[in-house]
Amino acid sequence: MGNPVDGEPVRVEVGLGDRAYDILIGSGLAGRAGLEIAARMPGVRAAIVTDENVAAAHLDAFSSGLASAGITSTPIILAPGERTKSFECLQEVVNAVLSARLERRDIVVALGGGVVGDLAGFASGIVRRGMRFVQVPTSLLAQVDSSVGGKTGINTGQGKNLVGLFHQPQLVLADTDVLDTLPEREFRAGYAEVTKYGLIDRPAFFEWLEANWREVFAGGPARTRAIAESCRAKAEMVARDEFETGDRALLNLGHTFGHALEAAVGYDGARLVHGEGVAIGMALAHRFSARLNQCSPDDAARVERHLSTVGLPTRMADIPGGLPDAERLLSYIAQDKKVTRGALTFILTHGVGQSFIAKDVPASEVLSFLRENHPG
């Protein structure tokens, strides 16, 4: 892991041939977005999809920056929260883009967290059979995960992200300064996804995080380094397996359990936000691996200890309010995208940084494990 150069953004390329794009990570990038976009896509007009919270903090300055680079823009402001990833809001964004008379060569800009990025990316992929789009993620979770790789989508009553498509951005601008406006809970939730990259196949990165997480939370070079390493890890996976037919599925570590828990609380962000679901899911995945004699209980305890130390939940009992019974949780897992013809697929581990894809996991084992870990 290299240290960032002072004042210069770190550049990570997502290598997809003639569809390759840059991720830029550093200070002040939101203010320079117009210049970066105009240099790559001269003459475009933009729709800026954002939410009410981000709009209040950043929209005026962002729009002005685009205008100074000659880019006219139309704002599309949505309600914050996971429930915005819906058919209704998708239709709202599509109608607004069409009403602005934007053409296929124009761009949709996602200015916000993962919800905005997923929704705006999906809309840009279907309007006029595919418009270009740019990700300007404003949460740590979006900067290290959802803004990179082209996965877009919305939620339904049956589960999370079950409707969507792969649609790669033209550019990702991860401004580390905007993270200073995040509530602490949201930053912690994003840190769960940072931790994930160490737990998948970068044990040295996980060890570095154990030693340096306070500096990552404080900001400065350590934060930039953690974001860049996370983006580098994801970019390598995406370049090898763009459509998740192989080892890109490892990026779902913790997500099968986590998505089920999000669905179980009705995507109520007051009770559980995505990164918290992932944190509990990763702890569960390691405990489940230990139960199946795939990893040491000491490794599972180490993972849980680090997540707890930074203030993340690690057990279902940490979710406020009641949960559906284990059978209902299993039904949410069975609806997840990682299921193939009814066979349960999980990302399990042989130890820290040694994750693997486990297919045909017996439902009976999962149900028994859920019952053992259920707070009721």
CA 87 to chain CA centroid, nearest Å: 20
Cα(184)–Cα(190) distance, integer angstroms: 10
CA 110 to chain CA centroid, nearest Å: 13
Identified catalytic residue from 188, 274, 306, 337: 274
Q: Is 45 a catalytic residue?
A: no
Identified catalytic residue from 82, 186, 193, 276: 193
Q: What is the 8-class DSSP label of residue 68?
A: H
Identified catalytic residue from 58, 132, 225, 248: 248
Q: Is 271 a catalytic residue?
A: no
Cα(261)–Cα(33) distance, integer angstroms: 36
Q: Is 350 a catalytic residue?
A: no
Asked whether 118 and 149 are in contact (CB, 8 A), the reply is no
Q: Is 85 a catalytic residue?
A: no
**How many CB atoms within 10 Å of residue 365?**
14
Identified catalytic residue from 255, 286, 287, 337: 255
Q: Is 248 a catalytic residue?
A: yes
Cα(65)–Cα(367) distance, integer angstroms: 52
Identified catalytic residue from 151, 202, 232, 306: 151
Neighbouring C-alpha atoms within 13 Å toward the C-beta of 192: 29
Q: Is 274 a catalytic residue?
A: yes
Q: Is 374 a catalytic residue?
A: no
Asked whether 58 and 138 are in contact (CB, 8 A), the reply is yes
Q: Is 151 a catalytic residue?
A: yes
Identified catalytic residue from 101, 129, 184, 341: 129
Identified catalytic residue from 252, 276, 337, 338: 252
Q: Is 286 a catalytic residue?
A: no
Q: Is 83 a catalytic residue?
A: no
83, burial (CB in 10 Å: exposed 0-12, middle 13-18, buried 19+): middle
Catalytic machinery residues: 129, 151, 193, 234, 244, 248, 252, 255, 259, 274
